[in-house]
Amino acid sequence: MAEALDVDGLTPEQVLMRDNIRRYLRQQVTPLIQAAEADRQFPYQALDGLADFGYLGGCLPESAGGLGLDFPTWAVMMEEVGYCWLSLRVMVNTLNIIAGLVNAYGSEEQKERFMRPLLANRRRAFVSISEPDVGSNVAEIKTRADKRGDRYVLNGSKLWITGGMFADFGIVVARTFSETCDGGLSLFLVEKAHTPFDCRPVETMFVRSTGTAAFGFENAEIPAANLLGCEGEGLKQILIGLNFGRLNVAMGAVGAAQCALDLSTQYALDRRQFGRPIGAFQLVQKHIVDMTMKTQAARVLGYRAARAMQTGQPARLETSVAKLYATEAAHEVANLALQVHGGMGYATEYPIERIFRDTRGGMIPEGTTEIQTLIIGREILGLSALT
């Protein structure tokens, strides 16, 4: 007999896992959010408990220290951390992208030195791609890595680095020049303790606890052994991880939208004006209905993308559609949630103000709304507007 699924197509095991994660996040992480946001810090200790659910490399095979989770299960997990706190979703996303890259392209020594401590929450990491003049078009990166003997010398600037203020190592994408590479992009594992470079905080309006930073490299030396994979393969390596990142962003946005919807539904029942709950008014009900439709539609698209990835398809269309729709829908839901809450919505001691800010940020990383639109158009028509 076929396994019974819930209305969203989840198995009983996935539902149980979701409920356990939700309970843990509510009890152990939610109480930390307000202080962490105020101090612009991230409570890394919260990742210890999340590791038991598979948030630290759970999609990796068991032989690599993961749990071999499938993408639909991972999608459920990313919705839950998005529901709790989008700064948490962003940090989990970064950690897992790095773990995936090191597992796919790293040597055994690199895996032992970087990936395994990362999965055990003993190291903190960043991914450094964007630059002051380079965002969506990764191929235009200007930071250089010049091979000199047994070392590479880095020169250039990086911007919008998630976790950059907190991390002790990370991946830097740089244009490489050596006897065997003439300007191709490569990935390098860079440790702060061994490669001094300028690091300064970048204050942002959203995901304020993610330690966003700007880096400056001036003749910064790294061992040649810290090259991740092969010279000149960096663009391909980074692009392979984008679908995973877009799924993470999409499902985190779904979670944030669901949180805003739940808070608004309860508020509409509890808040009374003119002698009755504000939920009794037609316009408030219209807001709640619109929020529900957008959230449910975004979830369906997210699960569709996860299933496409699970089959081994490129899934560029599915993940881009999910990311584009879910991030825009989440901010629209957050905007309506603020309207339902009235003045309480923009009070900083309540979650709606934070959700409103954080969901606006989701339209930019892992490819802006405009870039996602062009990718989708290319996948549908076979014609690129990007070249």
Give the residue numbers annotated as catalytic, written as ranges.
Answer: 366
Q: What is the DSSP letter of 193?
A: T
Contacts with 61 (C-beta within 8 Å, 6 or more apart), sequence order: 68
Give one DSSP letter per residue of 48-109, joined into a string. HHHHTTTTTTTTS-GGGTS----HHHHHHHHHHHHHH-HHHHHHHHHHHHHHHHHHHH--HH
CA-CA distances (angstroms) from residue 77 to 21, 81, 199, 272? 8, 7, 32, 35
Residue type, 2: A
How many whole angstroms separate alpha carbon 48 and alpha carbon 311? 31
Q: What is the spatial distance between Cα 26 and Cα 29, in angstroms, rounded to a whole number? A: 6
How far, in Å, are 246, 307, 335 from residue 311 at the CA level? Answer: 17, 7, 36
- Whole-Å CA distances, 49 to 55, 123, 158, 280: 9, 16, 32, 41
Tell me the residue type at 50. L
What are the start-end ranges of the E strands in the chain? 125-128, 144-148, 151-161, 169-178, 181-191, 198-201, 213-223, 227-228, 272-273, 276-277
